[in-house]
Every structure is written in structure tokens, then in C-alpha cells.
Structure 1
């Protein structure tokens, strides 16, 4: 705490820092949930690989992949919304572009996983 900063301002700054860190942890957690859905999709394909009709197992796996993509973008949306509110308070956080890039990479990887599952 600097001499020019009051204790109240200092506490407010610390609260902003905690909020930023919580936002980033939440974003990471949501992405973990999405990746877990991708894992379930791959596991379904592995477990039900000999399942007939094969399209049924692939369809269920694809539903989990779609859920993963939706989770990635919901996480990005919520994290950016929180970031925008904190920007008004001049807080420093991860830029939204980084969250958007991660959402795109995870989404495209998930879609590629679906393509591979359907081609097997």
C-alpha cells in the first residue's frame, strides 16, 4: 500500500485482484469440463466400437463433442463479460483475445476429434 493510497482503496484493489483470479480459475474450470466431455466421447467410441448400429455410438459421442464446444464458448462469453465489467475499474487481467483464441483452438480440436470418430 502506497502512502497516497488509503486503506479502503487498497482493500478495493485487493478485491479486484481476487475477482480477476477467480474469473480466470472459473474459465479454466469450464474448459476442463469441456475437455472432460471430449474424453467421454472418445471413451464411448472405444467402449462401443463394435456396437451396432455404429452410427448410434457415433451420434452419442458427437453429442458430447457438441456439448464440449458449447461449454468452451459459454466459458469464453462469461469470462469476457466479467472482464469487461472489471475494465471499468482499470483492473489488469488476461485479454479477451486470449480467451477467444483458446475457445477457437479447443473447438476446432473437438470438431477434428468428431471427424476422426466418424471416419473410423
Structure 2
């Protein structure tokens, strides 16, 4: 008699063993599904943390590029356009850089619906605020330098 054949009702001990065996298989399968679902949830949370870090890096990278372009506007546009246009273009780029640095922090700390607890550690918030605060101050100094130079 194989496990696929129905138990013989005349043999209650055999039927009880098959029932216990079937219940064990069902419990094992349910546990594996639960563990698998839990692991997928944790991995999804890890991906969310890493995606947030990439987004933060993209905001900072964009801000640094805008800051460099704003500072370089004077040298690049000198003798091509009037001084007021150079100052305006540089100012817009430098202000945009400051906005990017602020947006990076804002998006990092207000991501929307909180994800499940990840295994991956997040970057310390105080460090992000410190670095971006410094970058905003550099942007303000560059803006002042653009208007006074």
C-alpha cells in the first residue's frame, strides 16, 4: 500500500498514522511558507533602505553638480552675457543646489509608509543632517560670493 492510496477503514491504527503524517507534512509546509514570506518581507525592507540611500545620494549628487555649475557660471559666461545675467544664472543654480541638499534630508526622513524592520542598518540621521547642513552653508556662501564678486 502506498501513501497515495486511501487508508483502509478496517485498519484504524494505519489510518491514525497516516493522519498524523499528513498533519505533520501540512504543518511543515505551513511553517516553510511562513518563513519564506517573512524572509521576503525582510528582504523587501532591505531593498527599501538601500533604494532610499541611492535616492539620497542622487539628490546630493545633483546638488553638488548645480553648486559647481553655479560657481562656474561667472567664469564660463564672462564676456558672453551681461553681468546681471551671470549673477542671476549662478544664483538660480546655487539656490537649486541648496534645495537639493534640503530635499535629500526631507526625502530620507519622510519616506512615506514605514517599511517592515530591515536587517540592513540605516545611515545615522545626525550624520546626514550634519553633512547636508554644511553643504547648504557652502551654497549660501557661494551665493553671497556670486553677488559680491
TM-score range, shorter chain: 0.7 to 0.9
User: Secondary structure at the residue paired with 1:71?
Assistant: helix
Deviation at 1:97, TM superposition (A): 2.2
| Contiguous gaps of at least 5 residues in structure 2 | 1-31
Among 90, 101, 106, the residue aligned to 2:117: 90
The answer to whether the 8 Å contact 1:69/1:106 transfers is yes
CA RMSD of aligned residues (A): 2.3
The separation in 2 between residues aligned to 1:8 and 1:95, in whole angstroms, is 29
The answer as to 2:78 corresponding to 1:49 is yes
Question: Tell me, which stretches of 5 or more residues in structure 1 are unaligned?
Answer: none
Provide the TM-score with structure 2 as the length reference: 0.67
Match of 1:60 among 83, 86, 89: 89
1:51: how far off? 5.6
CA-CA distance at 1:30 after TM superposition: 0.9
Secondary structure at the residue paired with 1:103?
helix
Work out which of the residue numbers 133, 138, 147 in structure 2 matches 1:104: 133
Q: Any conservation in 1 of the 2:101–2:136 contact (CA below 8 Å)?
A: yes
More displaced, 50-59 or 19-28?
50-59
For 2:106 and 2:97, the matched residues in 1 are separated by 14
Report how far residue 118 of structure 1 moved: 2.3
Task: Tell me the residue number matched to 1:28.
Answer: 57
Q: What's the offset of the Cα at 1:53? A: 4.2
- Scaled by the length of structure 1, what TM-score is found? 0.81
User: 1:9 Cα deviation (Å)?
Assistant: 1.1
Which consecutive segments of 4 or more residues in structure 1 shift more than 4 A? none
